[in-house]
Structure 1
Amino acid sequence: MLGNERALSQNQVLLLFVVLSFVYVFPIVRADYAYVDDNWRALLQAQDAWRNQGRILLEWLYTLLTFSEATINIFPLPLLIGISALALAMARLTFWLFPRPGITSCLVILPVLCNPFFLGNLTYQYDGPGMVLALVAVICAITCRTEQRYVRGLVAALLIAATLSLYQLAISLFIGLCIVEYVRGVKDKVAVQALLVTLMERVVQLIVGGLIYFFTAYQLAIDTRGSRLPIDQQWFEVVWQKFCFSMQMLGLLIASSGNVLAVALLLGASAGLILFMTSIRQMQGRLPGKLGVALLYLLSLVTLIWNVPGMMLFLSEPNLEARNFIGFSAVLVLLFFLNYEVLGRIWPGLRWLLIIPTLFMFAFSYAYGQVIIAKKEFESAMAHYIANDLVSRSELRSVNKYYYLRAPGDGNWLPRGHGAMIHMPLLRYILSGSNSVLHAQFFPRLGINNVIGGEHGVFDQLAAAGRVGEPLVDNKFYSIYVTGAQGFIVMKPIQEDENYNKNWPRVP
């Protein structure tokens, strides 16, 4: 009976998560798409790049998996290992949140992986598995059940340090799950003192874990991308602009999922928040303590929203990419948890309605898989156009080195994916503005070894000095110039309409 959902064993919960997780990532494995940094990492161009970003554990992970010090591409093996570990971690998290979980209880935990913004992270053939394992470390820190408080705190702190050494932004999930834990404590009417002590333990774990990371892996970081935003007169304005931008991107998710589904989830969650708020009066403790719990309850929800972009708000990095929104996984878990509780109090069978947003997350993943396949096909075609010119024209074959200049602006012009990205606008954002039409490191797979990345400033200086003549090749997508022993492949911004259907004749 739907109203009497059967409790699952630990093995059954684990099996469910393994199956659903592999179904979810199948489109990414099938696409086998080299995303943003993957092209140059596959050519072993920066062996110490992770170390320089304070992510030494990711470097060690590939040393272990490839049996060498080189970052050899062994995709999808690392991703499959990471997803298997995450399925095990989500099973642990399920029993941490629910004493006797059923299938619908597992749906509450599934957004840890099925966060639509996390699809960009999973697409990275190199960085993605480390990001997944960072989530595993966070969940293990949250679910550590060692009875001795100091041992439990030390283990959690070490796991937090490991998280930061894999992918720093994953700490947003830890903060978010701490808020979920606090909300659950309010729902369960935990004694005021016990609830506040648990919250303080989490704060201490976070601080100690951060200190361990700072004095270990962080000392290897020399990359300036993680530098703090300078505190000056513009500081608050920049932070606020970043936050508003992140909220706009959440609006794209609502537009992609449909207003009815989003409004239903938000209404159910709002009812749950109000319902739990009334539980504070029944908690054991004095009135000042209850007032403090109520204030923290409200502040925790505000913190959860700010935690979506997380520490990116306070870094000098100007770009907020979809992969930065790991904290949104905790938002989804809380939304699902609140709806789970509200629906269960009306009638337990209504909890199966959580299948609807779950199906959306899976449908979105498969739509994204088709978009990156289209992107891969377009990039391959573009590279073949250029490679054909370089190997077939005698005046181009003699050039020793070509500098590849990417087109300015967004490179995600994609006619085949236009329809999907109109109806699911979040797809274009996840595809990433950093993902240009083509990368110079793509050409070696076509047998072209003399194309490297170039700078527009150098080319412009040569052109201004009259050292660049007319292009030897000039077509819709690019121009090829030759000056002496070097050449320039200059990509053009594509101004043509992306919508193919506008040119299709309509039947009156």
Structure 2
Amino acid sequence: MRISDFVVRELGRRQVLLFFLLATGLYVLPLILADFPYIDDNWRALAAGNQWAGYGRLFTDWLYQGLTFTGAAPDIFPLPLLFATVAMSLALTCLTFHYFAEPTLACCLVPLPLWYNPFLLQNFSYQYDGPSMAFSLVAMVCAVTFDGSTRVQRWLIPAALIALGIGLYQISVNVFLGLCCVELLRALHRRVSWTEFWHLLGGKLAQLALGIAIYGVTAYPFMAAGRYADGLDWTAHPLLQIGTNMSRVLEKTALLFHGGYLWVFAALVLCALLGLARLGRPDRRASYVILGLTSLAVLVLLVPGITLLFRDFNEGARTLMGFGVLLVFLFYLARLALAPHHRWLPLLLIIPLLATLSLSFAYGRVLIMQKTFTTAALYSLGHDIAAHRELREAKRIYLSINYSDRWLTSAEGSFRQLPVLRYLLNVDYYMLAENLPSVGITNVVAERERRNATHVGYLRYPALVESLYYRIYLIGDYGFIVMKEPPHGRLLQW
């Protein structure tokens, strides 16, 4: 059989699954190879701690208790991520056959951006939280694709899956809503009646409401009081607050569209708009286009989604799970535009996927650079403390954190060419106190309020240790580690 025949012929379920296993595994491979404990991973690995229930994520606690056969969460990375990758491959297989009755290789590319979401790389950076976020994504995909034989099954099982997804990671509700927009787009493409269209929309919203209700009586009661109490102030221009938050999201997502990435995604949007013009019957095309553009606008809002409704807005890349669904929407429309002209043209969708895969490998290398820097910083600080008896025997050493985007000098070239990498990394500190027990230093604590050590630095006490990046002071039985500002203007020229 010629390769061209394999590319354009119909694929079976096993072949589709093998494709997704390869594609999803390849995307997370750089992060597995980097093996970098990311932010929260440090304290969780030390304490084998879960404590997700207080964040409204009770099912994440259950996930790790089940995977580790304990009542806590010992570090077993990368096993949970491997399980999540297989589960996502199965979910994407179901989604492909849900979208296309006779899928080809090009059809398999359409749902893949759910996993090849560039901002999802920060989610996967968390060795503990990443797999639970991935499983929440799987639950939302399964909630959309499930089609039971009875009415009770069609209502209850998707609602239970939605509750499961929210209980693993609340932000994944944006994915369900986004996939509902894709479902509406498919309904327009199938030229269903308006009655069936609105029935589909109402059914999905009812499933979501039932899922939230199930979550409200299962995981929500375990949430710590006041966890999400700070919503928008509805008496102080809430639309202005939402607009401000959305502008911050656009500013961050714009970091992705740099260099060749801008042209690749511009071509994708152009093809999607051409596909939008092909929707529906000619006599209703204007109304179909309006509905399609409305769905596109909703999907743009769903990139940050429910995070827009909180006063303490989190602009981290891990909250932008909805960006993957936006890409699926664009891919679906782009395929509609390309397929009628030549059977090979839809394969052009592989170009933006390769761009995202390239970004994943670049990010993996940055994680390795960060790991190297963190290891060197850990040994330096651990050696300085161990070499001074007064510091070894101090009752407590306070570590003050100085935030800066200039710590990781070795990645400056990558940051300059791909600005989104710095946003994805989001490590702007020299050292965490949780790292030091790995070299036997147990009397250093993180000074979250940053008052004592910083105040000591301002008072200009003589430093016991003077290093390139920090000073260590000793006052009585207490030590204080004060970070210096990283040097300016360190341009690497080779």
- Class of the TM-score when normalised by the shorter of the 2 chains: over 0.9
CA shift, 1:398, in A, is: 2.8
Q: Rate the CA distance shift 1:28–1:339 in 2: closer, same or farther, 3 A.
A: same
Q: CA deviation at 1:84?
A: 0.6
Query: Does residue 1:477 correspond to 2:480, yes or no?
Result: no
Which residue does 1:266 correspond to in 2? 269
Preserved CA contact (<8 Å) 1:54 1:218: yes
CA contact (8 A) 2:48 2:73 kept: no
How far does residue 411 in structure 1 lie from its aligned partner after superposition?
4.6
Distance 1:424 1:305, change over 3 A: same
Shift, 1:299, TM fit = 2.4
Query: What's the counterpart of residue 97 of structure 2?
Result: 95
The equivalent of 2:489 in structure 1 is: 497
Residues 225 and 317 in structure 1, CA contact (< 8 A), matched pair in contact too? no
Aligned to 1:413: 407
Task: Measure, in 1, the Cα distance between the counterparts of 2:296 and 2:481.
Answer: 51
- How big is the shift at 1:403? 1.2
Give the equivalent residue in structure 2 for 1:347. 342
CA offsets 1:111-165 (integer angstroms, 9 cap, x no match): 1111000001011111111001001100110001114334201111111111110
CA gap 1:77/1:382 in 2 versus in 1, 3 angstroms? same
Alignment partner of 1:488 out of 477, 480, 484: 480
- Residue 47 (structure 1) shift: 3.8
Alignment: residue pair count: 489
CA contact (8 A) 2:48 2:74 kept: no
One-letter amino acid of the counterpart of residue 375, structure 2:
S
Which position in structure 2 is the counterpart of 1:286?
none
Contact 2:143 2:162 in 1 (8 A): yes
Paired residue secondary structure (1:131): helix
2:252 aligns to what?
A: 249
2:45 aligned partner? 42
Q: 2:366 is matched with which residue: 366, 371, 389?
A: 371
Report how far residue 337 of structure 1 moved. 1.2
1:22 counterpart residue number: 25
Post-superposition shift, 1:13? 0.4
| 2: CA distance, partners of 1:355 / 1:482 | 58
The answer to whether structure 1 residue 432 and structure 2 residue 426 are counterparts is yes
Per-residue CA deviations over 1:167-223 (Å, capped at 9, x if unaligned) read 000111111111111111111211221121111100111111112112221111116
Q: Distance in 1 between matches of 2:186 and 2:50?
A: 44
CA distance 1:410–1:317, shift in 2 (3 Å): farther
Aligned with 1:51 (options 41, 53, 67): 53
> Quick check: 1:144 aligned with 2:136?
no
Tell me the CA shift for residue 496 of structure 1: 2.2
* 1:215 counterpart = 2:217: yes
| Among candidates 58, 81, 84, match of residue 82 of structure 1 | 84
CA contact (8 A) 1:256 1:426 kept: no
Secondary structure, counterpart of 2:474 in structure 1:
strand
- Aligned-partner residue type, residue 40 of structure 1: W
Sort the Cα spacing of 1:498 and 1:209 in 2 relative to 1 into closer, same or farther, 3 A.
Answer: farther
Tell me the equivalent position of 2:380.
385
1:222-278 Cα offsets, whole Å, 9 max, x none, are: 1645332232315332211110111122211111653221211111011111221x5
Compare 395-404 and 221-230 and name the one that shifted more.
Answer: 221-230
- Matched to 1:499, the amino acid is L
The answer on whether the counterparts of 1:230 and 1:316 sit within 8 Å (CA) in structure 2 is: yes
d(CA) in 2 for partners of 1:300 and 1:84? 30
Task: Verify the 8 A CA contact 2:117 2:324 in the aligned structure 1.
Answer: yes
Q: Secondary structure at the match of 2:157?
A: helix
For residues 498 and 331 of structure 1, the distance between their equivalents in structure 2, rounded to whole angstroms, comes to 39
State which of 4, 12, 36 in structure 2 corresponds to 1:9: 12
| Aligned counterpart for 2:434 among listed residues 435, 441, 449 | 441
Distance 2:137 2:259 in 1: 25
Contact 2:271 2:334 in 1 (8 A): yes
In the alignment, the residues of structure 2 paired with residue 430 and residue 82 of structure 1 have an alpha-carbon distance, to the nearest angstrom, of 21
Gaps of 5+ in 1: 284-289
Aligned AA for 2:179? L
CA distance, structure 2, for counterparts of residue 488 and residue 280 of structure 1:
73
Structure 1 stretch displaced more, 72-81 or 148-157:
148-157
Distance 1:463 1:343, change over 3 A: closer
C-alpha distance in structure 1 between counterparts of 2:468 and 2:241, whole Å: 38
Tell me if 1:231 matches 2:234: yes
TM-aligned CA distance change 1:393 to 1:461, over 3 Å: closer
Q: Contact between 2:454 and 2:482, CA under 8 Å: does it hold in 1?
A: no
**Aligned match of 1:131 in 123, 133, 155?**
133
Q: Equivalents in 1 of 2:233, 2:56: separation in Å?
A: 20
Q: Per-residue displacement from partner, 1:319-370 (whole Å, max 9, x unpaired)? A: 3100100001101111111111111012121111112111111111000000
Three-state SS of the structure 2 residue aligned to 1:111 is helix
1:115-126 matches, cutoff 5 A: 115-126=117-128
- Tell me: CA distance 1:298–1:219, structure 2 relative to 1, closer, same or farther (3 Å): same
Structure 2 unpaired stretches of 5+ = none
Distance 1:319 1:495, change over 3 A: farther
TM-score (norm. length: structure 1): 0.92
1:281 equivalent in structure 2: 283
Residues 229 and 316, structure 1, Cα contact 8 Å, conserved in 2: yes
Pick which of 476-485 and 247-256 moved more.
247-256
After superposition, the Cα gap between the structure-2 partners of 1:397 and 1:126, relative to the gap in structure 1 and judged at 3 Å, is same
Give per-residue Cα distances to partners, 1:386-422, cap 9 Å, x unaligned. Answer: 1111111334333232111111x33563221111111
- Structure 2 residue 315 is matched with structure 1 residue 312: no
SS in 2 for 1:266: helix
User: 1:495: Cα distance to partner?
Assistant: 3.6
Aligned to 2:446: 453
CA gap of 1:335–1:297, structure 2 versus 1, over 3 A, is: closer
Distance 1:498 1:145, change over 3 A: farther
Q: Are the aligned partners of 2:404 and 2:486 in contact in 1 as well (CA < 8 Å)?
A: no
Cα distance in structure 2, aligned partners of 1:296 and 1:390: 64
Identity between Structure 1 and Structure 2 (%): 36
State the Cα distance separating 1:478 from its structure 2 match. Answer: 0.6
Q: Which amino acid is 2:107 matched to?
A: S
**RMSD of aligned C-alpha atoms?**
2.0
Q: Quote the residue 2:206 is aligned against.
A: 204
The amino acid of 2:476's aligned partner reads G
TM-score after normalising by structure 2: 0.94
Do 2:406 and 2:486's aligned partners in 1 also have CA atoms closer than 8 Å? no
